[in-house]
Amino acid sequence: MEASITLKKVGKLVGDKTILAGLTFGVERGSLVAIIGENDAGKSTLLQLLAGIENPDYGNVFIHGIDSVKRRKDSQRYTGYVPHSSDLDPELSIEENIRFIGYVYGIDGEKIIKRIHKYAKDLEILDLLHKPAGLVSPGNKKKAMIIRELIHDPSILIIDEPTSFMDASSTRKTWDLLRGLAGEKTIIYVSQYLPEVEQANDRILVMQNGKIALDGTLDKLLESTLQYHQFEIEFVKLTEELYNKLTAISTIVNPSKIGNTLHFYGRERSVFFQILNEATGQLMKDLTVKKLSLRDLMDSKFAGRGLD
C-alpha cells in the first residue's frame, strides 16, 4: 500500500536533550494510527514535526513523497493539524474561525458552508456556530478545530488528543466521524486515553524516550502478553512477612502491595494455586483475575521485563 507519511531517521533535540531519536517508519494511506506513551515521550513533538510546526534537527519527513522541510507549503496542503489546546480566535464565532481558514486555503464559499454544516451536524454543534469561540466549552472548541482542519479536505489529519475535554456522547460522535473518515484519509493521533485507542483498534505506536518502543495493531502488541494475567488478591491482613514470602515465588511478575491487596502478573492461572499454597491459613477477602490491556502494556516496569 502507498505511504502517506514517511520518516527517515528523524531526530529532534531541545538543548542537549534528545526528544526524538532517529525515528524511521511509514504510515500507509488511509490508516488510523495512534501514538501513545508516557509524558515527555516525544508524542506531541512528533505530531508537530508531521504538521510542519517544528523542523527536524536531522532526518527527513515526507508527506506523500514531498519533503516537508524543502517543500513545506506543498506538503502542508495535504495535512490538517488539530493541536491539544484551543487555537481558535476567541473573538470570532466558531463559524467565522472555520470560514476564515477555508478562505485562506482558497476553498469556495459555498463549499465551506456546506462542509461546516455537514460536520457540525455530525458533531452536534450546529447551534454553537454563531457563538464567539471564547464563550464555548473546551470540548466544543475541540470539535470546531477538527471541523476547521477538515474544511480544506486534507488527506492526512493529525490530531493531538482528539477527544480531550469532551463528554461521553461527544467522544462517541467524534470517533464516529473519525472512523468514518479513516480509509479515505490518513488519521494519526496522540491519545492518553487508552480505552479509546483500544476501541479504535488500528495501528498503535508506543513511544518511549523519543523512540518507537512498539509498533503494531492492538492484537499484535498484546500477543506477547496474552499468556499473562493480572491478579489482585485482597487479604484480611497482608503482613510484610507474608508479602515477602509470596513475592519470593518465581512465577510472580512485577508484584506490588497496596494496603492489604497484592497485585502481580502471572503467565498462567496456576500461579494462583501456588499463592494459595504459600498463604495457607491466611484469610482472603477478594480475588480478581483479568487479561492484560494496553494500560498494562504501558506499565514501563512490566514492559521492560516481561514483554518478550
Partner 1 sequence: MQAFLIRRFWLLRQRLIPTASLVLVLPIIVFLTISIGMKNIIMETMGNISYEEWVYPGLIMLVNTIIITPIIFRDFYFLRLESQTLVTLSLSPLSKYQIVIYLIFSAIVEGVILSMISIFILLYLMEISIGILSLIYIIIAVSLFSLIIANTFTTLSLSTHRINHIFLGASIITLFIIYSSQLLIEFEFYPKSVIDIFKLLPTSMILNWYRSMVFQGEFNVNLFFIPLTIGMLWTFLNSILMKRVLKQ
Distances (CA, A) of 183 to 21, 78, 178, 187: 29, 15, 10, 9
Calpha distance 308→304 (Å, rounded):
9
Q: Contact at 8 Å (CB) between 187 and 32?
A: yes
Q: Is 138 in the site for partner 1 (CB under 8 A)?
A: no
Q: Does 79 bind partner 1 (CB under 8 A)?
A: yes
Q: 3-class DSSP state for residue 246?
A: helix
Site string for partner 1, 32-51 (x = CB under 8 A): -------------------x
Find the binding residues for partner 1 in span 88-107 (CB under 8 A).
88-93, 96, 100-101, 103-106
How many other β-carbons are positioned within 10 Å of the β-carbon of residue 64? Answer: 19
Nearer to partner 1, 86 or 254 (CB): 86
Contacts of 192 (CB under 8 A, 6+ apart): 36, 161
Nearer to partner 1, 52 or 266 (CB): 52
Euclidean distance between CA atoms 244 and 46, whole angstroms: 43
Q: Which DSSP letter does residue 135 get?
A: G
The number of residues that bind partner 1 (CB under 8 A) is: 29
Rule CB under 8 A: say whether 72 interacts with partner 1: yes
Q: Which of 62, 81, 231, 264 binds partner 1 (CB under 8 A)?
A: 81
Give the one residue of 77, 172, 211, 245 binding partner 1; rule: CB under 8 A.
77
Residues of this chain that interact with partner 1 (CB under 8 A) are: 51-55, 72-73, 76-77, 79, 81, 83, 85-93, 96, 100-101, 103-106, 132
